[in-house]
Structure 1
Amino acid sequence: MPAEELEKQYSPSRWVIRMEAEEALRTFVQIGSQATTMARATRRSRLNVPYGDGEGEKLDIYFPDKATEAWPLFVFFHGGYWQNGSKDESAFMVNPLTAQGVAVVVVAYDIAPKGSLDRMVDQVTRSVVFLQRQYPHNEYVGIYVCGHSAGAHLAAMVLLAHWTKHGVIPNLQGFLLVSGIYDLEPILSTSQNAPLHMTPEDAERNSPQRHLEVIPVQPVHPSCPVLVVVGQHDSPEFHRQSREFCETLRQVGWKASFKELSDVDHFDIIENLTQEEDVLTQIILKTIFKK
């Protein structure tokens, strides 16, 4: 694919049809910031909880209203092409999910240029390890991992993590990968790689699509459901990557499914999680509560 076309395919805002590209980006940040401000004002929470020793290794936990001994943990990794975004503007789904008895965790990680891809993958993996150790009473309720865009890539890497070296195997009960990239090789030829400084070796090592055949020693149980989601107005390359990743998951024995959500793009597919009646919000709740 010519470099110019690759640049277009991997520029999600250029595929938004409801508004101009720059406005779509601004709106996304605005809605995320407003949702986070509201969540912090209206929900019980623990903010900036360190899950490691690094300055950027923090997470926010938002608790359900009902005081119970155990609740499902919904863990969210934000997007932003591994170089933008923050947990402080990513609590889109907190109010609808906590209202239904789900605890929501929004994880920060060191974005580029401070953080390398290897570091980001290690950080999000350790955040899950921390949560399993911090809330062992949730063992029978489970952890559900969700990521958007670059965060979906990180969530997919968590799916393939080698847990034995971390000394704990988290009770992962479901993965939701939203509008992600699972083979990083095409990014090498785009402007998105400028702050990442990603080499072909980095791309190979951190492409979950290329490592599915090599099952880790103690992976997530293959019966754990993995839902790969893409928006109707995501680019053809995002559609291709999502379909191929889902197909490869199935081929090697994972319980994976693919869903294209109609009438949404790369941004409002997540913005709409502020609404309990949203299609994706309902999918999340049905996945957690096995309805």
Structure 2
Amino acid sequence: MMDVPGAGSGREAAWKTMPPEELENQYSPSRWVVRQGPQEALRTYAQTGLQATTRARATRRCQLHVPYGDGDGEKMDIYFPDEQSEALPFFLFFHGGYWQSGSKDESAFMASVLTAKGVAVAIVAYDIAPKGNLDQMVGQVARSVVFVQKRYPCNQGLYLCGHSAGAHLAAMMLLTDWAQLGAAPNLRGFFLLSGVYDLEPLVHTSQNAPLLMTPEDAQRNSPQRQLEAARAQPADPACPVLVIVGQHDSAEFHRQSREFYQALCRGGWTASLEELHDVDHFEIVENLTQEEDALTQIILKTIFRKF
């Protein structure tokens, strides 16, 4: 774990003084890739996810389109190891796409690699904008966690992972009142990849067009702000929260990750902050198709506690 730097007292002033075009630039991840152009990077990301999902569906034992709630969008795909057992660690993945694009049908990047190592993988869908709003999405993700816990009560731990907007949704689970949902999920770890944890800057960018977030919506759904306001204590202080960002993510994504990590440490969570070398906002997930990838190894070591 890294030492806790000073509190981010200049957080608001930093982004509020940016020219609108620079704020837009900072929150446009495809503009920061270095391997190819923005559109090529987005195409490669989508193709990699689709290919990985198609391969996992064809080669792994799986249950597809499993409903975890009553809504049309409340479905998940579950991929299993060859071992016939319910006493498995479960890795739940929430896709990115700025809460307005992406789907479970092209997001099983890690399914083949993790199931080969004995981990069950659930790829969770949620209602993206404009059909869904942030409050609905947060509720859906919470229900998906409760569903897995109740369906597989003998699990060896639930590990929540989200990318970008999905990292935000996973982070909101740190603040969930599970008693109100009638479950105590066996949460053993969080992997938050290139996430946004304070949503207020996004209110002032084009990303907000389909979301229609008000400042109040952003405040209510910002894990950074809610963590600071609630002074919530972790249910299990030993549950690790890994905040991970790519070297080629923008300065604002780095700031968001750093300041959320600081807030976690001040709140008593077992948190760590990791910058992955020579990867951008999209490669951080694309590379999970590879067993030798640095992040894949971090995930496996965390699940199996081989330090």
TM range (shorter): over 0.9
**In structure 1, what is the equivalent of residue 252 of structure 2?**
237
Q: Residue by residue, what CA displacement relative to the aligned partner does 1:102-133 show, whole Å, maximum 9, x if unpaired?
A: 00000000000000000000000100001000
Name the counterpart of 2:187.
172
Structure 1 counterpart of 2:19: 2
Aligned to 1:84: 101
Residues in 2 aligned to 1:226 and 1:201: alpha-carbon distance in whole angstroms: 26
Residue 118, structure 1, aligned to residue 150, structure 2: no
Q: Could you say which residue in structure 2 is the equivalent of 1:160?
A: 175
Deviation, 1:219, is: 5.0
Contact 2:175-2:227 within 8 A present in 1 as well: yes
* RMSD of aligned residue pairs (Cα, Å): 0.9
Equivalent of residue 285 in structure 2, options 270, 277, 283:
270
Query: In structure 2, what is the Cα distance between the partners aligned to 1:223 and 1:285?
Result: 17
2:204 equivalent in structure 1:
189
Q: Which runs of 5+ in 1 are unaligned?
A: none
Offset of residue 164 of structure 1: 1.2
1:211 Cα offset (Å): 1.2
Q: Does 1:11 align with 2:28?
A: yes
Counterparts of 1:258 and 1:219 in 2: how far apart (Å)?
18
CA contact (8 A) 2:234 2:268 kept: no
Distance 1:3 1:198 in 2: 17
Deviation of the 1:12 alpha carbon: 0.1
- AA aligned to 1:11 is S
Runs of 4+ more than 2 Å apart: none
Report if aligned partners of 1:172, 1:220 keep a CA contact under 8 Å in 2. no
Normalized against structure 1, the TM-score is what? 0.97
Structure 2: where are the runs of 5+ without partners?
1-17
Tell me the equivalent position of 1:198. Answer: 213
The code of the aligned residue for 1:276 comes to E
CA distance in 2, matches of 1:235, 1:74: 27
**1:33 CA displacement:** 0.2
| Aligned residues of 1:77 and 1:155 also touching (Cα < 8 A) | yes
Could you tell me which residue of structure 2 aligns to residue 45 of structure 1?
62
Instruction: Tell me the equivalent position of 1:224.
Output: 239
Query: 2:74 corresponds to which residue?
Result: 57
Instruction: Please report how far the alpha carbon of residue 215 of structure 1 lies from its aligned counterpart in structure 2 after TM superposition.
Output: 4.3
In the alignment, the residues of structure 1 paired with residue 106 and residue 165 of structure 2 have an alpha-carbon distance, to the nearest angstrom, of 15
**Does residue 146 in structure 1 map to residue 199 in structure 2?**
no
The answer to whether the 8 A contact 1:176-1:227 is kept is yes
Q: Distance in 1 between matches of 2:172 and 2:300?
A: 23
Q: Matches of residues 87-98 of structure 1 in structure 2 within 5 Å?
A: 87-98=104-115
Q: SS of the counterpart of 1:53?
A: coil
Once the two structures are TM-superposed, the CA of residue 220 in structure 1 deviates from its matched residue by 3.5
The amino acid of 1:144's aligned partner reads Y
SS in 2 for 1:31: helix
Q: Alignment identity in percent? A: 72
Q: Is the 8 A contact 2:86 2:152 kept in 1?
A: no
Question: 3-state DSSP class of the match of 2:57?
Answer: helix
Which letter does structure 1 place at the counterpart of 2:211?
A: L
Which letter maps to 2:295? L
Is residue 2:258 matched to residue 1:254? no
Compute the displacement of 1:68 (Å).
2.9
Q: How far apart, CA to CA, are the structure 1 residues paired with 2:162 and 2:181?
A: 21
